[in-house]
Amino acid sequence: MTKADLVEIVADKTGLTRTDVAVTIDSMLTAIRKALEEGKNIEIRGFGTFKVKARKARKARNPRTGEVVPVPDRNVPVFKPSNDFKNSVMNANPVEKKTAEENSIEEHNTFSN
């Protein structure tokens, strides 16, 4: 699902124009991004929490050469879903898992049209 899909769903449900809904969603995402940039946490009850987590510096390996590469410490955004959110997803209809062959066929059909 894309942002355009979300805009369409909300516009259909609320009766607002797609333009108004798109501006609202963009504003919400911008507000979340700015709050995280400022180091603030965002808690949306029944949905989840957005936070910034500090990752320590570490050493990694270049898989091609095997060379040890230092990875500096950094801040990363994380999302922790609420228990209500997790339970609703767990209790939803199960998603059918496709085999690698089915995925390959689907990709081929998508790109060949």
pTM metric for this prediction: 0.70
Residue 113 has pLDDT above 50, yes or no: no
One-letter-per-residue 3-state SS of the chain: CCHHHHHHHHHHHHCCCHHHHHHHHHHHHHHHHHHHHCCCCEEECCCEEEEEEEECCEEEECCCCCCEEEECCEEEEEEEECHHHHHHHHCCCCCCCCCHHHHHHHHHHHHHC
Q: What is the mean pLDDT of residues 28-40?
A: 96
pLDDT tens-digit series, residues 60-112 = 999 999 999 999 999 999 999 999 999 999 988 777 776 766 666 665 555 54
- With contact defined as beta carbons under 8 Å apart, do 18 and 8 qualify? yes
Beta partners for residue 54, in sequence order: 75
Instruction: Compute CA 25 distance to the chain's CA centroid, rounded to the nearest angstrom.
Output: 14
What fold, for 41-113? Answer: HU Protein; Chain A (4.10.520)
- Predicted local distance difference test score (pLDDT) of residue 33: 96
The residues spanned by each domain of the chain are 1-37, 41-113
Give the least confident one: 38-42, 50-54, 83-87, 109-113.
109-113
Q: What is the mean pLDDT of residues 40-66?
A: 95
pLDDT tens-digit series, residues 61-72 = 999 999 999 999
